[in-house]
Structure 1
Amino acid sequence: MNRKTLVLPAVVGLLAPVLVACGSTDGGSGGGDAIVVGTTDQFVAGEDAPAPLDPAYAYDTGAWNVLRQTLQTLMHAPRGGGEPVPDAAESCLFTDTVSESYRCKLRSGLKFADGTPVTAEDVKFSIQRVLDIDADNGTAALLSNIDTIETKGDNEIIFHLATPDATFPYKLSTPAAGIVSKEKYDGKKLREGFQVDGSGPYTMKTETDGDKVSRVVFTKNPNYTGDLKLKNDKVVLRSFADAESMGKALESGDIDLMTRAMAPEQIKEMLENPKEGIELTEMPGLEIRYLAFDTSDPAVKNKAVRQAIASLVDRGQIAGEVYGTTAEPLYSLIPKSISAHTNSFYNKYGEPSSKKAAALLDDAGIDTPVQLTLHYTTDHYGEGTVKEFEALRDQLNASKLFDVKVEGTEWSKFRPAQKRGDYAVYGLGWFPDFPDPDNYTAPFLGEGNFLNSPYVSDKARELIPQSRRDVDRTAASPAFKEIQDIVADDVPVLPLWQGKQYVAARDGVSGVEWALNSSSDLQLWELSRGES
């Protein structure tokens, strides 16, 4: 294996949740024309999440990366990141000076995969449907600033916003704004199961094993009209139980490429002991990991408990010993590579200190040791997660101020339990929906947020819409600095680290360097057979 480091254009702003793939026997390097991509993401339908691939519900990177292949949006992120450009739209622009009215004109000849025309009414139906269903996954919050949607004829649509929002074009590029047909989707109810129908670059078919997807086959959509140029006719996503089995499939030629989530030890081995015929590509990434708190839970309701944890956590040890070169410590919700980042947590708490933590607890009259359980998901963020939480447990317990246990749960049960408020403290990852600091703050602090958190900061909720008024996003930096300082003081969430992303591929696959953009958007249309 050879190693290649890719430097893509810098991206200013944003965040975003994880990569997915499901499998097929159609190919790999050993045969067939389909390019086969492996992932450890799991797609599971159950009582708590019966519609994991409905754009009105889906709000994780794995599901979104399926939707990006099959649903078309008015705008889309360019291959290397940056400001969105038209896809289903021919053009989009603000028609006022305060970013409250956004008008799009559709491309001519747009069709769904079944050949029926895509009209402005379909766009209105699709986005209004997300708002009307308002699923508890937090998806609708991305579009909640829409006041009314107006159509003019079949090819023009105008979004009237409740408040100014310069980030709105980014939101229209997310799968939450994916265009669906009222013939296939109910306007008031989620579509259960795994089928997705749209006007995107591919059609899809899934195969399942019980309630889990075993593979997704993406086939070029002959009716696609948009900005993307497809370099293949078929791609198969194959889901693996763990990184080890995914890696073995790559070595044997059963798959052509693997991405999220490779194990830290696996990446280390690939870097130190390259194997002939396999190349590891490092790409810029905007992933962050954090602890979150149910601030209404008696165990952590007093912010002194949360502040004491912030005083004790040694991010450097976790990043270095658990993740090695693939992660670095993070002291803010907004990662270093995004404009407006400040080291708010380091500025407030400095280096890990038992003395400082003890003083915080003592001043608040908190009896020690504080008993807590830290919850994490076993199958969503990769194999380093369990070691990360064991390290967190050991750090907190070593202070004698806490008595901590850790408990892992599979994602299909973890996420519903977290949203219900079953966990006082839990770990999650975030992959930006779009590249702007707004997307590292609003989804955690805004009304109807992704975490379903009871935490409310009136000041933060005042600053978030204020920051959206600035078309020049650097002008919003003072507002974001204040938000970061509020988070460091109240600790509704505790940022831990930010990561890089890697793709490993067999020789003979080209376009690997564009398989993911910096927001972890999977771009399967970039892959083709040929020298990498």
Structure 2
Amino acid sequence: MNRKTLVLPAVIGLLAPVLAACGGSDDGGRAGGAITVGTTDSYTASKEAPAPLDPAYAYDAGSWNLLRQTLQTLMTMPRGGGEPVPEAAKECGFTDSGNERYECTLRDGLKFASGDAITATDVKYSIDRVLGIKASTGVSGLLSTVDTIETQGYKKVIFHLRTPDATFPYKLATPVAGIVHPEEYPRDKLRTGFKVDGSGPYTLRAEVKGDTIAKAVFTKNDRYTGQLTPKNNSIELRPFADADAMGAALDKGDIDLMTRTMTPAQVEKLSSATTGDVKLTATPGLEIRYLGFNTEAPVVRDKAVRQAMAQIIDRGQLASTVYGEMAEPLFSLVPANITGHSNAFFNKYGAPSADKARQILSKAGVTTPVRLTLNYTTDHYGSGTKKEFEVLKTQLDRSGLFKVEIKGTKWTDFRADGLDGKYAVYGLGWFPDFPDADNFLAPFLDEGNFLALPYVNSAIRDDLIPQSRREADRLIASDSIEEIQNIVADDVPVLPLWQGKQYVAARDDIQGVEWALDSSSNLQLWELSRGVSG
């Protein structure tokens, strides 16, 4: 088969496959062995991040992609997007008119991979445990609306919420709500290391070198009962130090498929090639990149400094220079294809302008040039990150209003230092937990947020976020959502930069590639199978 780029429709909930099969086989990995998948995500246990695969702690896309294969949740996102559907549950729904009482009934025959039966008590234990541990990563914030959990018999679980939360079904579809075995996961402390005991479609065996996973082997769980239908018996996920090494492995045939994160050069090469046995698939993506601010740090405490940066940075030039077609400028925390999105930053600041930025700083009495350091992680978001921060430095320095240094740090230290407030300005990416505007706002702005930001806006926390969560119809919630975006554009506790597309490259005997990633960049390894090379 010729190499080709195939783009799926960029509408959440309306995804449809457009990739023709190159032959077919339903025996998954049986005929040709395990399907091997490459990634540049790394999985390391450290003093700062001791429990990378504990759902009470894990809160990054890489770790969640391991947990999604192995832990079962009450709800799951359907294959092509849309609203969550029951997974470990047989049925779930709100049983009141105010979206404050949510009830689930478990499927018959649910078992952990060990063979032990799963009951409503196990579900309650799992979520109570997350809320009780309240890990520093902020992942428990996803379940912050839970007040109490009630069980009735072996199968019924009832969630009583503190406030209305129409997005709660989405949260029950994320790994933080994964059902864990009470005998393997202590109630009041994290489970360190790389073992996972769940009831998902696969079991996990991690091959570890030092404190890092060298290979994650997924084997079909024959005791799994749920919504998903694994199309293979085994998957091997192999982390690589960088995208070039991953691409070389694909070219050599050492792996069958590679995904996040590819380089712009790789995407361009595969897009333009007309021969070969590797095909490139493009799918809609909701990944965003942004700058976070410690608003208590002296250098950026005055919001005029943050506003001036928003006025100077040229997102279009940044995205095109570093990422080419893989990214587009973003003018809000909420991506362009999510209900409630508005171009709040463009509406406030318009085109990049050093003159307007100078006026902002002068009016606030800020002495220029403002000296600051932009911090980024060297090993988590791909090789383009350093170049991205070099471009940001150039843009800010060129204005004459800033004198910028950039500093790169390994992810394990970078994440911990950011949570500890050691950076005034730092760059991060966000892969949504679920495709709703709430998940691009609350994790940054609500109490116990993902960034541990000191920024507090009472209107957002006390009124607008709760107000938006009352509305099951997300179009009706848009007014509150847009108001939050306008406040963020004015206060600039975070500064959105760009929104990304996502790509998968695979050998042409691998089927289901168009479903390998959903819009939130979640790996769906159960969709892959081995067919016949075309």
With normalisation by structure 1, the TM-score equals 0.96
Cα distance in structure 2, aligned partners of 1:193 and 1:110: 26
Alignment partner, residue 124 of structure 1: 124
Q: Report Cα offsets for 1:297-345 as digits up to 9, x if no partner.
A: 0010000000000000000101111100010000000011111111100
RMSD: 1.5
Alignment partner, residue 110 of structure 1: 110
Cα distance in structure 1, aligned partners of 2:68 and 2:443: 20
Alignment partner, residue 355 of structure 1: 355
Alignment partner, residue 303 of structure 1: 303
Alignment partner, residue 245 of structure 1: 245
Aligned residue type for 1:66: L
Look up the SS of the partner of 1:434 in the other structure.
coil
Does the 8 Å CA contact 1:467/1:476 hold for their aligned counterparts?
Answer: yes
Cα distance in structure 2, aligned partners of 1:488 and 1:275: 47
Shift of 1:12: 6.8
Write the mapping of 1:12-411 to structure 2, written as runs, cut at 5 A: 32-411=32-411
Look up the SS of the partner of 2:503 in the other structure.
strand
Q: Identical aligned pairs, as a percentage?
A: 62
Shift of 1:508: 0.6
Q: Report Cα offsets for 1:412-433 as digits up to 9, x if no partner.
A: 1110000000100000011110
Alignment partner, residue 450 of structure 1: 450
Shift of 1:273: 2.9
Cα distance in structure 2, aligned partners of 1:9 and 1:130: 34
Cα distance in structure 1, aligned partners of 2:262 and 2:324: 13
Q: Report Cα offsets for 1:115-165 as digits up to 9, x if no partner.
A: 000000000000000000000101000001101000000110000001011
Q: Report Cα offsets for 1:234-270 as digits up to 9, x if no partner.
A: 0000000000000000011000000000011111121
Aligned residue type for 2:508: D
Cα distance in structure 1, aligned partners of 2:37 and 2:9: 22
Does the 8 Å CA contact 1:445/1:455 hold for their aligned counterparts?
Answer: yes
Q: In the alignment, is residue 526 of structure 1 matched against residue 533 of structure 2?
A: no
Does the 8 Å CA contact 1:56/1:190 hold for their aligned counterparts?
Answer: yes
Cα distance in structure 2, aligned partners of 1:12 and 1:484: 24
Moved over 4 A (4+): none
Does the 8 Å CA contact 1:120/1:155 hold for their aligned counterparts?
Answer: yes
Shift of 1:94: 0.5
Does the 8 Å CA contact 2:339/2:478 hold for their aligned counterparts?
Answer: yes
Cα distance in structure 1, aligned partners of 2:274 and 2:402: 43
Gaps of 5+ in 2: 15-27
Cα distance in structure 1, aligned partners of 2:420 and 2:13: 34
Cα distance in structure 2, aligned partners of 1:531 and 1:482: 52
Aligned residue type for 2:113: A
Cα distance in structure 2, aligned partners of 1:410 and 1:3: 35
Look up the SS of the partner of 1:481 in the other structure.
helix
Look up the SS of the partner of 1:412 in the other structure.
helix
The size of the alignment, in residue pairs, is 518
Gaps of 5+ in 1: 14-27
Alignment partner, residue 504 of structure 2: 503
Cα distance in structure 2, aligned partners of 1:81 and 1:89: 19
Shift of 1:3: 1.6
Cα distance in structure 2, aligned partners of 1:209 and 1:361: 51
Shift of 1:393: 0.2
Cα distance in structure 2, aligned partners of 1:223 and 1:75: 18
Cα distance in structure 1, aligned partners of 2:487 and 2:121: 42
Does the 8 Å CA contact 2:57/2:139 hold for their aligned counterparts?
Answer: yes
Does the 8 Å CA contact 2:288/2:497 hold for their aligned counterparts?
Answer: yes
Cα distance in structure 1, aligned partners of 2:114 and 2:439: 34
Cα distance in structure 2, aligned partners of 1:140 and 1:280: 36
Aligned residue type for 1:77: M
Look up the SS of the partner of 2:298 in the other structure.
coil
Does the 8 Å CA contact 2:10/2:284 hold for their aligned counterparts?
Answer: no
Does the 8 Å CA contact 2:38/2:255 hold for their aligned counterparts?
Answer: yes
Shift of 1:208: 1.2
Shift of 1:510: 0.2
Structure 1 residues 515 and 12 mapped into 2: Cα distance closer, same or farther (>3 Å)?
A: closer
With normalisation by structure 2, the TM-score equals 0.95
Does the 8 Å CA contact 2:4/2:272 hold for their aligned counterparts?
Answer: no
Look up the SS of the partner of 1:423 in the other structure.
coil
Shift of 1:271: 1.4
